[in-house]
Structure 1
Amino acid sequence: MGGIHPGVLPKPYRIAALIQSFLITFNIIVVLNHAGLFHFLSESFTNGWLWVIMIMMGLSTVMNLVTKSHKERNLWAPIAFIVLVCSILIYSL
């Protein structure tokens, strides 16, 4: 969240973090489904949603690279980039 609020996040940011956790969980389900571990989402849906994931991870990488927070820049920028690369590889399956 940019490191602008040291300590406990204000309530709106905590709500945003909760929404992000649900979105990340859904993204994991989509990726695992696309990779063949689950079979309850259609291939056309997972193909489309993987594009959403790639766009989100590309933006996340950029945003984490420009944040003022050294912790976020050093930890989450590489993680977001790795997830971006992995989602591109999984999309190509």
Structure 2
Amino acid sequence: MTTLVTTAALIQALISLGVAGFQIAVLSGAPWGEYTLGGQNPGKLPGQLRIAAAVSAIVMLAQCGHYLAQAGILTPALSPGQNTIVNWFWFGFAVLGLIVNSISRSKKERNLWVPVLLVSAICTLIVALNV
């Protein structure tokens, strides 16, 4: 694996871990509702939306593990063919997140997540094209 791909995988793993940390904080009651889920809930998220934060945290931790495997830090759990599919899935996931957050009515949400998701889309594309 090239240094560029390894670096992109490590950056994506860090992004995933950071997003998981954000979601865990929101789940735990951090008053950051304006930065997630369309920004419609200033302050702490209501109970049902905290479930979405919990699911998101789990998904992002799984993504972190995947990209740590792509970087050679963890042992891959997938066959090469499955790995290719998952790499393209995560790229699509990043692009979809970028689109959704770009059209959010919440300026705070857009300002926080659009740059993060732009870097995420670039990193996931680099990995998907080169692994």
Q: Distance in 2 between matches of 1:65 and 1:40?
A: 33
Aligned residues: 93
Unaligned runs of 5+ in 2: 1-36
Structure 2 length as normaliser, TM-score? Answer: 0.66
Out of 38, 42, 46, the position equivalent to 2:74 is: 38
Q: Which residue of 1 aligns with 2:122?
A: 85
Tell me how far 1:14 sits from its aligned partner.
0.4
Unaligned runs of 5+ in 1: none
Q: Distance in 2 between matches of 1:55 and 1:46?
A: 14
CA RMSD of aligned residues (A): 1.2
Structure 1 length as normaliser, TM-score? Answer: 0.91
Identity between Structure 1 and Structure 2 (%): 27
What's the CA shift string for 1:39-91, capped at 9, x where partnerless? 14123332211111111110100111100111111110110110110011122
Q: Distance in 2 between matches of 1:25 and 1:65?
A: 23
Alignment of 1:1-93 (within 5 A): 1-42=37-78, 43-91=80-128, 92-93=130-131
- Runs of 4+ that moved beyond 4 A: none
